[in-house]
Chains A and B, each alone.
Chain A
Amino acid sequence: MSPTPEIVFAGTNGGALTEIADYEAVGGFQALAKSRALTPDDVIAELNASNLRGRGGAFFPTGRKWSFVPKPDKIDKPHYLVINADESEPGTFKDREIMLRVPFRFLEGSLIAAHAIESKHIFIYIRGEYEVEFEVLVAALEQMRAKDLLGAVTIVVHRGAGAYICGEETALLESLEGRRGLPRTKPPFPAIAGLYASPTAVNNVESITSATTVMEIGGAEYAKLGVENSTGTRVFSLSGNVVNGGNYELPHGYPLRDLINELGGGIADGRSLKAVIPGGSSTVILTADEANTVTLDFDSLVGAGTAIGSAAVIALDDRCCMVQLAVRVSQFYEHESCGKCTPCRVGTKWLTSILQKIEDGRGTQADMNLLVSVAERINGKCLCPLGDSDAIAVMSYFDKFRDEFQAHIDEGGCPFHGESSLDHLLAPVAMHIALPEGKAIDGLINV
């Protein structure tokens, strides 16, 4: 299957459109002019016709989300558009490339969205580690201000400071308000009481960038791309044991097998495919056989018991020990757990410890049962999806590769004997922190 023309990256020719004149030369800002000439409701209707769905992970219809924001005459508070550029789901690196290569298309989409929800205030929450991307956005905004494209709208680029949980929309809002990033209970939903308890739409970078194209070509035209329920293109982040890792913009419905074997150049180092994580580390793993049958869209992946998530495809070859994978994934969620609710705060640590024990050859049959029981006590009992993600991911490795877990018990150690690709991988949560000699802390902080 051949990829369709680019939508998100249209006009880039493999490069970047970081000069405003270059972006205008490929039709830039026409969608904004067109949208501003329409009523907000008409813009939302166009989005609904496109059936564009959120690219941040939950796949919620973008037009519907905007329509939930009350009209200004219903609530006497400012409306906010908050853009989620916190991209931190392991395996995902698409928003970064979008901001680097098509910053104006992204910012144009932001202004279109602001018009649709009748907001004059846009906040872009960008992960702190994205320093170059931040600089590119700031430079692009300067150019737009010089051309007076913002109108009465203000855009503030707010830098995160390293916390995966701040990608969760309510934690993001807490963080943006100047607090620790602890998720809020819902309801109220952000559309009613979001930033500063005011009506707020929170959208992912790619959703917003795609909205520009929807307004450019029209919702009906956009809906012709992709497949039913999963319209349009998607920027897939391909990583792991493939020859050519990178981002690939493809129509939804593209075969996973072709992404790995054709575009990705197949499995590297003459190895064979063992498994695929299809939508970021929070999603259920697919065995190689399963991976060969699915297509990259919502329905196909749900049908296979997993999810499209953040469209981050991670290919694992036969050198990877599944218990080590489970340890490392669980260490990540343990490290990033905000600690607000008990099943996640305690459970992620327990999962890691039990898995580590099994990996080290100290595990017993009882630990295998304990692992399942702890996962069951996490899943579905957490305040936000972070805790669930750990349990779901780990249990999928356990269910589909149980023989490998069992072999650790039976052999009293890792059957890979130090040859697994993830052997002894040092996670931040396991890293010792040593103070330099002679650099004792003067008095205050030693947390």
Chain B
Amino acid sequence: MSTLSLYDEIQEIRARYPESLSAVMPALQLAQERSGGWLPEQAFRDVADALDLTPAYCLSIASFYDMFRLEPIGETVIEVCTNISCGLKGAQQVLEAFESELGLKAGDTTDEFTLRTVECLGGCGWATIVAVNNRHRLHVQAGDVPRIVAELRGSEWKEPDEPDA
């Protein structure tokens, strides 16, 4: 964890660019990281202050790009790619397995989890790609999902056909 304040760290980012406006995206990324993975109203004011912009301008940037989150998110964000290469390899079945395992619908958020679909993550030949907090898992199949969810919940995974001792 950096000891610098958000303001100071944004000044460092700003110094990398010939024009300070270029720092708005990295500044928002940093602010999002510092605010639990999403951008509350205060984050826009902070970034605006640090870069001499307005909060509305910062919001117009954040709303354009998919990776900025304008609402609270779960502690673990699960994103299933449903573009065509993954689709051909069973992405919809993977998504539905997550839905039933988590008891959520794609698009839902709880304190613990956010589940959503995303466009191509650039791993098409290793389909299906599932991003868990931005780390990509390759070759995911529907049958792998109970194990993944158990792992994310920090609970022990037992093979379903294994009789409980």
To the question of whether A and B form a pair in one complex, the answer is yes
Flag if B65 contacts A422 (CB, 8 Å).
no
Question: Chain A's nearest CB lies how many Å from the CB of B164?
Answer: 33
Flag if A325 contacts B41 (CB, 8 Å).
no
Flag if A161 contacts B125 (CB, 8 Å).
no
- Which one, B3-11, B100-108, B140-148, B150-158, is touching chain A? B100-108
Q: Which of A96, A156, A178, A428 contacts B122 (CB 8 A)?
A: A96
Flag if A159 contacts B29 (CB, 8 Å).
yes
Say yes or no for A146: interface residue by CB 8 A criterion. no
Say yes or no for A407: interface residue by CB 8 A criterion. no
Residues of chain B contacted by A91 (CB below 8 angstroms): 84-85, 120, 124
Question: Chain A's nearest CB lies how many Å from the CB of B111?
Answer: 7
Say yes or no for A152: interface residue by CB 8 A criterion. no
Flag if B21 contacts A447 (CB, 8 Å).
no
Query: A87–B119 Cα gap in the complex (Å)?
Result: 12
Residues of chain B contacted by A139 (CB below 8 angstroms): none
Q: How large is the interface on A (under 10, 10 to 19, 20 to 34, 35 or more residues)?
A: 35 or more
**Interface flags, B15-49, vs A, CB<8A=1, else 0:** 01111111111101100000000011100100000
Say yes or no for A314: interface residue by CB 8 A criterion. yes
Flag if A159 contacts B25 (CB, 8 Å).
yes
Flag if A156 contacts B85 (CB, 8 Å).
no
**Interface flags, A169-204, vs B, CB<8A=1, else 0:** 000000111111100000000000000100000000
Main secondary structure of the interface of A (DSSP, over half): loop
Residues of chain A contacted by B23 (CB below 8 angstroms): 178
A166: nearest chain-B partner, CB-CB: B65
Residues of chain B contacted by A159 (CB below 8 angstroms): 25-26, 29
Question: Chain B's nearest CB lies how many Å from the CB of A195?
Answer: 9
Say yes or no for B54: interface residue by CB 8 A criterion. no
Flag if A240 contacts B25 (CB, 8 Å).
no
Flag if B87 contacts A441 (CB, 8 Å).
no
Say yes or no for A137: interface residue by CB 8 A criterion. no
Residues of chain A contacted by B90 (CB below 8 angstroms): 421
Q: Which of B21, B28, B66, B127 contacts A239 (CB 8 A)?
A: B127
Query: A96–B95 Cα gap in the complex (Å)?
Result: 24
Residues of chain A contacted by B119 (CB below 8 angstroms): 88, 90, 164, 332, 335-336, 427-428
Say yes or no for A433: interface residue by CB 8 A criterion. yes
Say yes or no for A247: interface residue by CB 8 A criterion. yes
Residues of chain A contacted by B125 (CB below 8 angstroms): 93, 237-239, 245-247
Say yes or no for A28: interface residue by CB 8 A criterion. no
Residues of chain B contacted by A131 (CB below 8 angstroms): 134-135
Question: Chain A's nearest CB lies how many Å from the CB of B57?
Answer: 9
Query: A246–B123 Cα gap in the complex (Å)?
Result: 9
Give the residues from 313 to 331 in chain A that come closer than 8 angstroms, CB to CB, to chain B. Answer: 314, 316-317, 320, 325, 328-329
Flag if A423 contacts B85 (CB, 8 Å).
no
Residues of chain B contacted by A179 (CB below 8 angstroms): 21, 61
Flag if B59 contacts A445 (CB, 8 Å).
yes
Question: Chain B's nearest CB lies how many Å from the CB of A90?
Answer: 4
**Interface flags, B114-139, vs A, CB<8A=1, else 0:** 00111111111111000100111000
**Interface flags, B59-84, vs A, CB<8A=1, else 0:** 11101111110111010000000111
Flag if A441 contacts B135 (CB, 8 Å).
no
Give the residues from 241 to 268 in chain A that come closer than 8 angstroms, CB to CB, to chain B. Answer: 241, 245-247
Query: A229–B20 Cα gap in the complex (Å)?
Result: 42
Say yes or no for A349: interface residue by CB 8 A criterion. no
Query: A38–B124 Cα gap in the complex (Å)?
Result: 40
Query: A428–B106 Cα gap in the complex (Å)?
Result: 9
Query: A434–B110 Cα gap in the complex (Å)?
Result: 10
Residues of chain B contacted by A447 (CB below 8 angstroms): 63, 70
Residues of chain A contacted by B25 (CB below 8 angstroms): 158-161, 175, 178
Question: Chain A's nearest CB lies how many Å from the CB of B22?
Answer: 5
Residues of chain A contacted by B20 (CB below 8 angstroms): 178
Residues of chain B contacted by A445 (CB below 8 angstroms): 39, 41, 59, 70-71
Residues of chain B contacted by A436 (CB below 8 angstroms): 72, 74, 108-111
Residues of chain B contacted by A37 (CB below 8 angstroms): none
A313: nearest chain-B partner, CB-CB: B125
24 A-B contacts, Cβ less than 8 Å apart? A96-B123, A128-B29, A132-B135, A158-B26, A161-B28, A162-B65, A177-B19, A178-B22, A178-B61, A237-B125, A239-B85, A245-B125, A245-B126, A320-B88, A422-B92, A425-B87, A425-B91, A427-B117, A428-B82, A428-B116, A431-B116, A432-B105, A433-B107, A441-B71
Q: B residues touching A (Cβ–Cβ < 8 Å)?
A: 16-26, 28-29, 39-41, 44, 59-61, 63-68, 70-72, 74, 82-85, 87-92, 95, 105-111, 116-127, 131, 134-136
List 6 A-B pairs, minimum CB-CB distance, nearest first.
Answer: A245-B125, A162-B66, A178-B21, A161-B65, A239-B124, A162-B67
Beyond the given pairs A175-B25, A328-B87, 5 more chain A to chain B contacts, judged by CB atoms under 8 angstroms and listed by A's residue number, are A129-B136, A239-B88, A426-B106, A445-B59, A445-B71
